[in-house]
Amino acid sequence: MNKIKHYFIFSMLLGLASCGGGSSSGSNEVSKELPSTKELPTKESPSKEIPQTESKNKAPFSIIQAINIPTPVVVGTSIVLDGSESTDDHSSALKYQWSVKSKPENSHASIGPTDAKTFDFTPDIIGTYEVSLIVNDGELASPASVISIKVVEKPTTPPPTESGKVVFRDGFWTGTILVDKQSVNPNDYTWSAMALQLENSSSAVIVKDPAGSGQNVAKFTVPDDGQSYRAEIQRKQFDWGHYNYSVSHYIPSAWPRFDYGTILTQWHGYNLNNKNLNPPIALVLNGKKPEWQLHVYQLKPLTSPTAVPETILKRYVLDVPVTFDQWNNWNFDIKWSQLDSHNQLIPGLIVVKYNDKEVARISGENNYHQAWPPYFQMGIYRSSWREGALIRPIGGQPIVVYHKDVVIKDLN
């Protein structure tokens, strides 16, 4: 009886399997045609295709590399910058856009193509140049990459302390300021002229060093009387070319604070078309909170040979502390600008040192290109103190300054 029961159950199972296959073949063949339960779809995991997600385009990245740039970079150096290492995630064909983002005033630097992988330019004056690169993959542009390049002047002459012929010197050893307008020997301590607004008012005299060394020094005084505005001595220049000037100034702590500037040292031009011109170069102590400035004037082109001349002023604030009751030692290395036979400018150069530290270097036009180069003048000049120059109370503290150790060298 048990055997019959087992057989019946097996027959039933076999019949069910045969019905599910839809075939009269044997049980082994039917079982092979049934799909695996792993391949059958279920309610929890329906059979659908998952679409691929497209990657989003990203902006390229610009990279600037310098090619064989020397250190330091001097005026006239050919500079080549390379942008070929710039990258992009989609495109290998990038478009390049170079530009000189900033450059020194009056620079006309020569530049090459701005749409190539490399960019070349030649700086023409000293200062800082900033070059920018942007790359584009056809859809997006990169952020700008910027490289900063500092350019210095070519070394032209040895330091003035190591070269040059002394052509004028005055340590005021004689106790007198010697002036001879008729005959000026090139190697002595005779000044060409003395300019005082009023005798026995403004003055230039020799006294002992206020710092206590016992040395003779020149003392210049201009009273606040509403009329006096200068006390100066001048030395005519020798010729065009390259000269070095040394002079020291002592400013008393009683120096009156004033809105305007006081010229202590200047290089002066000559009358033009019956008009006195501003000094092409002047060292100025300026303002109620005094600061040192270098003023450089340039002549505007004349509209006619007899036109009234006009000048343009450029002020350079010097990074020099204003110190009182001690000596301030200045050195001015000046190469005068000139005009060539075609009336084209040959740039000049002014290098200013304070206590042997360079504080200014200015290239370009530095005089009016007259028959003679500017002459050296020192003392006090404050035009704003003259009568009628401005409305203000008068009778305040006089201006007093001391000068010593004047040396002029010919570096030609």
- pLDDT tens readout for residues 339-371: 998 889 999 999 999 999 999 999 999 999 999
| Residue 144 tokens, joined | 């700008």
Q: Which residue has the higher pLDDT, 134 or 58?
A: 134
Assign residue 86 the CATH number of its domain. Answer: 2.60.40.10
Please report whether residue 272 resides in a domain: yes
List strands edge to edge, sheet with 79-82. 65-67, 79-82, 118-122, 110-111
| Average pLDDT for the chain | 83
Residues 240, 380 within the same domain: yes
- For CA atoms 207, 211, 215, 220, the dihedral sign is negative
**d(Cα 333, Cα 267) in Å, to the nearest integer?**
12
Question: What pLDDT is recorded for position 18?
Answer: 38
Nearest to 128 by CA among 100, 161, 156: 100
- pLDDT given at position 53: 55
- Average the pLDDT over each of 120-124, 158-162, 192-196, 315-319 and give the range with the smallest value: 158-162
Residue ranges making up the domain that contains 287: 165-410
The predicted structure's pLDDT at residue 195: 87
Q: Per-residue pLDDT for 55 more than 80?
A: no
> Helices (H), strands (E): how many in the chain?
2, 25
Q: Are residues 362 and 391 in the same domain?
A: yes
What sign has the CA pseudo-torsion 154, 160, 162, 166?
Answer: positive
Total domain count, the chain:
2
Query: Of 98, 130, 152, which marks where a domain is finished?
Result: 152
Name the domain boundary from 100, 130, 152.
152
**pLDDT of residue 305 exceeding 70:** yes
Q: Please indicate, yes or no, if residue 403 is contained in any of the structural domains.
A: yes
Q: Is 14 among the domain residues? A: no
Which pLDDT value is given to residue 155? 60
CA end-to-end span of the chain, whole Å?
138
Q: Is residue 233 within 8 Å of 193, Cβ to Cβ?
A: yes
> Cα torsion at 190, 195, 198, 200 (round to 10°)?
-20
Q: Is residue 341 in a domain?
A: yes
- Categorize the per-residue pLDDT at 76 as very low, low, confident or very high, splitting at 50, 70 and 90: confident
Residue 50's pLDDT is 53
pTM value is: 0.61
In terms of domains, do 111 and 243 share one? Answer: no
pLDDT tier at 54, thresholds 50, 70, 90 = low
Please report whether residue 243 resides in a domain.
yes
Last residue of a domain, one of 85, 117, 152: 152
Same domain, yes or no, for 169 and 121? Answer: no
Confidence check: pLDDT of 248 > 70: yes
Q: Give percent of the chain above pLDDT 90.
A: 50
Report the candidate in 402, 264, 258, 259 with the shortest Cα–Cα distance to residue 325.
402
Residues 323 and 181 reside in one and the same domain = yes
